[in-house]
Amino acid sequence: MSSPFVQQLFKEIKIKRAVKKPVYLQLSDAIMWMIKEGRLHRGQEIPGSREMAQLLTINRVTVTRALDDLQAQGWLNRLVGKGTFVSAHIPEVRPDNSRPAKPPEKVAGFSIPAMGYINHQLNIPNTTLHLDDGFPDPHLAPLKELYRSYRAQLTRGGIYDKFGRYNYPEGAVYYTQALSAYLNHTRGLNTRSGNLLSIRGTIMGINLVCNGLISPGDVIVSGIPGKIRAEDIFVHYRAKHIGIPVDRHGIVVEALAEICRKTRVRMVYVTPYHHYPTTVTLSVERRTQLLQLAEKYKFIIFEDENDFDFHYQRRPLFPLAAADKHGMVIHCGSFSKSLSPAFRIGYLVAAENVIDHLSQVRLLLDRQGDQILEYAMAELLREGTIQRYLRKAMTVYQARRDFFCEKLAQQLGDKIRFDIPEGGLTVWARFDKAINLEKMAQKALRRDLYLSNGNLHKYPGFHENATRLGFGSSTIDQLEKSIAVLKKII
C-alpha cells in the first residue's frame, strides 16, 4: 500500500464526469501533472490499480488503461509483483509552491525582441456602415461559380495528383498556365508559366522578394505617403528605406534619380495603379523615366498592381512589366483586391531565373499554396467567369463612385477636398485642418460607421490631414447614410 501522503495526493484528483474527455485521460493527465510539478518524484511508488480505483471511486479497468497509457509514454514503470513507480529516467523536479507573477498561458518566460514597427493595431470593423480602405463588395463576387469549381476539384479524377503529394512551390501548372494567358491578354504581358509564382497575397509577395533578394543595409525607395505595411517589411529585413515625394503624377522620379546619383539603390517599390494611398496614376513620362533609371542603375522595380482591374475614365495604361525590356520589374498582383480580401491568392511575375530563385526561398517559408483553390481559379479564368465578373462589377463600382463623389461635394464640400479617382475603389479625402480625424472616426464608430482615422498615412513632414474613404463595398443607400453620419459629426 502506498504512503498516506501519496494517498492524499490521489484523493485530491477531481474526475469530471460531465465533460467529454474520457475518465482514463483525465486520470492520466492528472498523474502526469503531479510528476511534472514535482508532487511525485522519480522512483516513487504510487497506488496500484485496485487501490487507486478505491481512492477515486472509479472502475479498475479505467485505472489500468490510464496506467498503461502513462507507461507507454515513459512516465511510469510497472513491475510485476513489486508495484507501480514513477520512472527513474524522469528528471528530478523540485515542488514549486510559488505562484508565477504572470500566468504562462499569457506571458512567456523568454524575452521577445522589441519591434516598434509591428505595433499597429488591426481594426476589424463590425459596423453596419463602412467607408473602408477600398475593399471590393463580396456580394458582387462570383461566389457560386467559385464554390462549384472548388467542389468539382474534390470529385473529379486525378485524386492522387491533387491530394496525395506536394506540388510545385510556384503553383499548380494548370493554374500558372491559365493565369499566364489571362495576364497576357488583360495586361499586355509576355509571360509563360515559368514566369509566374503563386502567392497568397501582395504582403506575402513583398516578404518573399525581401527575403530572397534584399540584404541588410540595402536601400529601398518608395513614395511618401505610402503603404505602411510594405515599409514595415523593408525595416524588418533591415533594409534602409528612403521616401520620395508623390504629386498628382505619381512618385517624383527626379527625386529618385538624385538618390541614385549618390547611393546604390537595390529596389524601388511603386503602386502605379493607383498610388497607395493617394490613388494618383503614375504618368507615362515617369514610367518611361523609371524604367530607364532601373536599367541604368540596375535596381529592382517592385510593381504592386494595386486596383488595376477597375478603371472608369479610359483604358488603363499597361503595367511597367509590359514595357520592361531588361528584366528589371517584378510584378505583383492579387485577386483579393478584385474579388474579396478573404480569397488569399495572388501572383508574382518576373524573369524565369527570379521565379526559380524565389520558389526555392518559398520552400523555407510556405511549402505551397492552396492547390485546390488554384485549380478552381484556373477553371474560372479559362471559362471567362472572372472576366465577366469584372465587366459587371465595373459598372456597379463606377455608379457608386459617381454617387459618392457627388454627395461628398454637395454635403461636405466646404470641409473636404478630393479628386474624383480615375479608378480603384476609394477616395483620397483631405479634410479641413480644424477637423480632428481621430475624434471624428471615434464619433462615427459610435454611430455605427467605420472609417480610418488617417494615422497610417502620417509621416514626419507630411500632414495632409487625410484618409481613404472606400466606396466599393457599400451600396448606394449605405453610402448616402454614411455621408449623412459624417455631416452630423462634422
| pLDDT in the model for residue 274 | 85
Would the pLDDT of 409 be above 90? yes
286: number of Cβ within 10 Å: 20
Judge whether residue 413 has pLDDT over 70. Answer: yes
Q: Which residue has the higher pLDDT, 368 or 349?
A: 349
pLDDT at 336 over 90: no
The yes-or-no verdict on residue 99 having pLDDT over 70 is no
% of the chain surpassing 70 pLDDT? 96
Summarised one tens digit per residue, pLDDT across range 418-476 is 999 988 999 999 999 999 999 999 999 999 999 999 998 988 888 889 999 999 999 99
Q: What is the pLDDT of residue 162?
A: 67
The residue behind cell 511603386 is 270
Q: What pLDDT, on the 0 to 100 scale, is given for residue 484? A: 95
At a CB cut-off of 8 Å and minimum separation 6, what does 183 contact? 189, 191, 196, 333, 347, 349
What's the pLDDT at 344?
85
d(CA 41, CA 85): 9
- Residues 169, 415: Cα–Cα separation, whole Å: 51
Span 16-36, average pLDDT: 88
Residue 345: which of 485, 161, 149 has the closest Cα? Answer: 149
User: Residues in the chain, how many?
Assistant: 490
pLDDT tier at 143, thresholds 50, 70, 90: confident
Q: What is the pLDDT of residues 218-270, one digit of tens each?
A: 999 999 999 999 999 999 999 999 999 999 999 999 999 999 999 999 999 99
Q: At what angle do helices 385-412 and 371-383 cross, to 10 degrees?
A: 90
- The three grid cell numbers given for residue 125, joined into one nine-digit string: 470593423
The span from the CA of 30 to the CA of 14, in Å, is 9
DSSP 8-class letter at 111:
-
* pLDDT over 80 at 280, yes or no: yes
The whole-model pTM stands at: 0.83
Cell of 70: 502513462
Band of pLDDT at residue 5, cut at 50, 70 and 90: confident
Q: Which of 196, 209, 141 is nearest to 168 (CA)?
A: 196
Domains along the sequence of the chain with CATH: 4-86 (1.10.10.10), 129-135+389-489 (3.90.1150.10), 143-387 (3.40.640.10)
Residue 339 near residue 135, CB atoms below 8 Å: no
Q: How far apart are CA 478 and CA 481, in angstroms?
A: 5
Inter-residue contact 125 to 449 (CB < 8 Å): no
Q: Is pLDDT above 70 for 101?
A: no
In whole angstroms, give the CA distance from residue 290 to residue 8. 79
Q: Which stretch, 18-27, 177-186, 340-349, has highest mean pLDDT? A: 177-186
Closest to 167 (Cα-Cα) out of 339, 343, 378, 349: 378
Selected residue with higher pLDDT from 103 and 456: 456
Task: Assess whether pLDDT exceeds 80 at residue 117.
Answer: no
For the residues 22-36, what does the mean pLDDT come to?
Answer: 90
The whole-angstrom separation of Cα 378 and Cα 362 is: 21
